[in-house]
């Protein structure tokens, strides 16, 4: 018994050392994990600070430029008014900038980009008005120095004003056309009483409801604002499917009152948003080809077709 006891006793310190080694290893791993986690957290915080600082710097620079443009507009307004020119466009731009300066306090990258785009537009307006001021100065100089040819100079002034008015109208027309919304990915299906969808051509007995889907195409010129999107379903006899009880109504198109089949009021946000119309005619569709027309304000956004056998 004494010999066995003497052989077993030396193993206790060995087990104790192994236990301490494991504890030390675990603590080391925990410390390393905490250190790595702390390092990456710091890196993330530093990156966020840099991005925030960059965004704030860009916003401050853009707002400063807007403020400078506002002052430059005051000078152009006074100069063109003194020369007898039209200041309505400059006054409108001045009001827009003042509203933007009051409204914008915090902004993300997308808002800053939009502000920069506006700054570029205002700078182009200033450039055009500088050219107009030069023309007006030349015209006024001619009027003051050539009294003997007053009639000719008056005609030149009239022509200049007409050209400026025509250019302004052409620019306004181009901007108006560019801001018109368009539809894309038009999809028209028939939905039977069991909810099953079928593509065109439809069999009359299979069509209980018409489901119309489409996207609003991206348009960076169009403002973010509320829109009323109208659809018209026109049969082969050029008659619009119309039922006031099912949401139909009238609107003006080319200065003429027209019927529409259904409508939706939305906030256009330039995200290629998807619109869906569910239209239940309430009666059978006559065989033939039907045209889907989509309108907004006083223009057509797009069209599609489906047929019923």
pLDDT in tens, 136-180: 888 878 777 766 676 766 777 677 777 766 656 655 556 667 789
- The residue ranking higher by pLDDT, 86 or 8, is 86
pTM above 0.85, yes or no: no
N residues, the chain: 309
What angle, 0 to 180 degrees and rounded to 10, lies between the N-to-C axes of helices 109-145 and 150-178? 170
Pick from 307, 305, 299, 302: which is nearest to 215 by CA?
302
Model confidence at 107, in pLDDT bands (50, 70, 90)?
Answer: low
pLDDT of residue 226: 94
Please check the confidence at residue 1 and state whether its pLDDT lies above 50. Answer: no
Q: Which two tokens stand for residue 58?
A: 């860009």
Would the pLDDT of 106 be above 60?
no
Mean residue pLDDT across the chain: 80
Task: Say what the pLDDT of residue 174 is.
Answer: 61
Cis peptide before 201 (omega within 30 of 0): yes
* CA pair distance 39, 16, nearest whole angstrom: 35
Q: What is the largest CA-CA distance in the chain?
A: 143
pLDDT value of residue 206 = 67
* Contact in structure between 209 and 279 (CB atoms under 8 Å): yes
Least confident span in 19-28, 189-198, 222-231, 260-269: 19-28
At 14-59, the pLDDT tens digits run 666 777 788 887 877 788 887 667 666 666 666 666 555 566 667 6
Structure tokens at 238: 């050029």
In terms of Cα–Cα distance, which of 177, 271, 180 is closest to 218?
271
Phi and psi at residue 223, in whole multiples of 5°? -75, 155
Segment 83-101, tens digit of pLDDT: 888 888 888 887 887 777 6
| Least confident piece of the model among 105-119, 256-270, 282-296 | 105-119
Q: Which residues of 220-241 are buried (b: 16+ CB within 10 A; e: fewer)?
A: eebeeeebebbbbbbeeeeebb
| Positions of CATH 2.60.40 in the chain | 183-308
Please report the pLDDT score of residue 105 as a whole number.
52
The pLDDT tens digits for 254-268 are 889 999 999 999 999
Residue 2: its pLDDT value, please? Answer: 47
Task: Decide which of 1.10.10, 3.40.50, 3.30.1460, 2.60.40 is the CATH code for 183-308.
Answer: 2.60.40
Q: What is the pLDDT of residue 258?
A: 95
- Residue with the bigger pLDDT between 174 and 69: it is 69
């Amino acid at each position: 018994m004494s010999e066995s006891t003497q052989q077993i006793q030396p193993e206790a310190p060995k087990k104790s050392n192994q236990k301490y080694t494991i504890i030390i290893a675990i603590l080391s791993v925990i410390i390393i994990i905490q250190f790595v986690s702390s390092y990456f957290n710091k890196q993330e915080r530093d990156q966020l600070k840099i991005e925030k600082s960059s965004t704030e710097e860009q916003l401050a620079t853009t707002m400063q430029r807007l403020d400078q443009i506002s002052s430059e507009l005051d000078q152009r307004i006074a100069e063109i008014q003194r020369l007898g020119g039209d200041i309505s466009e400059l006054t409108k731009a001045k009001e827009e900038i003042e509203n933007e300066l009051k409204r914008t306090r915090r902004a993300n990258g997308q808002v800053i980009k939009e502000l920069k785009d506006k700054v570029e537009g205002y700078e182009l307006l200033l450039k055009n008005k500088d050219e107009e001021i030069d023309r007006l100065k030349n015209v006024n100089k001619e009027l003051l120095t050539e009294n003997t040819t007053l009639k000719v100079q008056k005609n030149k002034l009239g022509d200049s004003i007409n050209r400026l008015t025509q250019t302004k109208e052409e620019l306004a027309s181009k901007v108006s056309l560019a801001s018109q919304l368009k539809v894309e990915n038009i999809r028209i299906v028939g939905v039977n009483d069991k909810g099953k969808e079928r593509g065109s051509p439809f069999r009359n007995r299979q069509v209980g409801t018409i489901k119309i889907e489409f996207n609003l195409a991206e348009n960076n010129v169009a403002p973010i604002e509320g829109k009323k999107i109208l659809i018209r379903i026109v049969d082969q006899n050029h008659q619009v499917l119309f039922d006031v009880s099912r949401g139909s109504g009238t609107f003006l198109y080319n200065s003429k009152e027209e019927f529409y089949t259904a409508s939706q009021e939305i906030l256009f946000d330039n995200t290629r948003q998807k619109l869906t119309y569910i239209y239940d005619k309430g009666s059978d569709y006559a065989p033939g080809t039907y045209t889907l027309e989509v309108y907004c304000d006083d223009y057509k956004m797009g069209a599609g077709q489906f047929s019923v056998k």
